[in-house]
Amino acid sequence: MGLPFGMALADKGQNVALYDINEATIGKVNDGIVPFKENGAEPVLKRVLKAKRLRATNDPSVIGQSKIVVTVIGTPVDEHLNPRVHDITRAIKEIEDQLRDDQLLIMRSTLYPGVTDKVQRYLKKRGKKTLVAFCPERIVEGHALTELYELPQIVAGCTPEATKRATALFKVLTDKVLVTKPKEAELAKLFTNTWRYINFAISNQFYMIAQAGGMDFYNIYDAMTTDYPRLKAFAKAGLAAGPCLFKDTMQLSAFSGNNFFLGHSAMLVNEGLPDFIVDGMQHKYDLSDKTVGVLGMAFKADKDDPRESLSYRLMKRLEVEADTVLCHDPFIKDPRFVSLDEITKRADIIVVATPHSEYRDLDWKGKKVVDMWNYYGNGGLI
Ligand SMILES: NC(=O)c1ccc[n+]([C@@H]2O[C@H](COP(=O)([O-])OP(=O)(O)OC[C@H]3O[C@@H](n4cnc5c(N)ncnc54)[C@H](O)[C@@H]3O)[C@@H](O)[C@H]2O)c1
């Protein structure tokens, strides 16, 4: 998230230093290599490096030399699903000595409601007048370099001066700036991700109901959505995962005193889909002597990001139930994974876990294909 944001600003003429602690990533970025799949990013990176408007470094003194400091450190959830707000407060303490009174500190990644004000109070207590703002990132991975210019930016300063200076920065990218209070912006970001997570859960629950009743979910889906504008947001069924949606839904739950039944239900449905698939397969086929091929381990199609991917949950359940499990992903390097050729030769049953484009034209030669996404148009049947 930090790299595309820095590149977008640099491409609009700002001087950007990317401070990171990962030496390998720093080396790649300074060599013009984007370390993850991001559409159209490499030419932009090369351009801003050549113009000397961007560089990556592990030297923390760049923090003190900058007019504006942007952090992308998030709030993960712990093993009890509580938000770990200390990650951000610890990071602020780490850079505290570098922060100056005339600087603006922008926090960009999702925060538990109240954390922006807490950071501002902390800095004030330490005698710092650094301006503080929360401006949540809302891009989707892979499309950062179009969305950073197209999406409205939510800007929430702790003071009017912080809002004014943060607005001026984002106006470099877009004319569409929306101003809220920090806690409102923190909730706006959590509501956005949670809305998406619940929306996917509706589709997944309906899919399970249709499947359990022996029906073709996608026939029903088409009948419901064709030329029916009110169901435009009705997603297809499929594994709903990744580093943001689950975590942010649980943060919202913690914020609502753990009384967020809708959020927890969505979690049970989405996290339960791999189990539903494996149970369905077991019901239909005796898996104990079967080799199952799992296609796609990234959390999303055509991405190279395995973080919190439910394909791994599917793999682990299948490893218990099936004789052999063979996994493939075109973008993720993992010594456990095999080639598509090997899956084609050895697998008795194929499960489409992540519908990467590369799988589109494969000929499975009559093999059983479990396809919750309806990628091959078989109605999503197990
Ligand atoms: N990816 C998105 O589209 C997106 C959108 C909105 C919010 N977020 C949130 O933003 C946060 C970051 O997401 P990401 O996808 O960019 O993660 P990432 O892991 O790709 O990037 C984080 C970077 O921070 C570096 N880092 C970690 N600790 C550091 C420290 N103490 N000092 C300096 N650098 C440090 C890491 O080396 C890494 O390069 C997460 O909380 C995520 O939920 C992400």
Lay out the sheet containing 104-107: strands in order across: 68-71, 104-107, 131-134, 153-157, 177-179
Residue 365's pLDDT is: 80
pLDDT digits (tens, 9 = 90+) for 132-162: 999 999 999 999 999 999 999 999 999 999 9
Give 381's pLDDT tier (boundaries 50, 70, 90). confident
The predicted structure's pLDDT at residue 244: 93
Model pLDDT, residue 110: 94
Percent residues over pLDDT 90 in the chain: 92
305 lines ligand 1 (CB under 6 A): no
**What's the mean per-residue pLDDT of the chain?**
95
Q: Binning pLDDT at 50, 70 and 90, where does residue 82 land? A: confident
Per-residue pLDDT tens for 196-211? 999 999 999 999 999 9
Ligand 1 close to Cβ of residue 19 (< 6 A): yes
| Number of Cβ within a 10 Å radius of residue 10 | 23
Is the minimum distance from the CB of 91 to ligand 1 under 6 angstroms? yes
Give CA separation, 165 vs 46, 70, 111, 170, 301, in Å.
29, 13, 20, 9, 37
* Site of tokens 């993720």: 332
Q: Is 20 in the pocket of ligand 1 (CB under 6 A)?
A: yes
- 330-358 pLDDT per residue, tens: 999 999 999 999 999 999 999 999 999 99
Q: Which of 18, 21, 62, 72 has most ligand 1 atoms within 8 Å of its beta carbon, as the pocket-test mutant?
A: 72
Record the pTM: 0.94
Overall average pLDDT of the 224-251 stretch: 96
Predicted pLDDT of residue 380? 72
Residue nearest to atom 19 of ligand 1 (CA): 1
> Given this model, what pLDDT does residue 294 score?
98
pLDDT of residue 104: 98
Q: Is pLDDT larger for residue 237 or for residue 382?
A: 237
pLDDT tens digits, residue range 265-297?
Answer: 999 999 999 999 999 999 999 999 999 999 999
Q: What average pLDDT does this structure show over 314-327? A: 98
| Average pLDDT of the residues in 21-50 | 97
* DSSP string over 24-70: HHHHHHHTT--SS--TTHHHHHHHHHHTT-EEEE--THHHHH-SEEE
Atom of ligand 1 nearest to the CA of 36: 20
Closest approach atom of ligand 1 to CA 144: 3
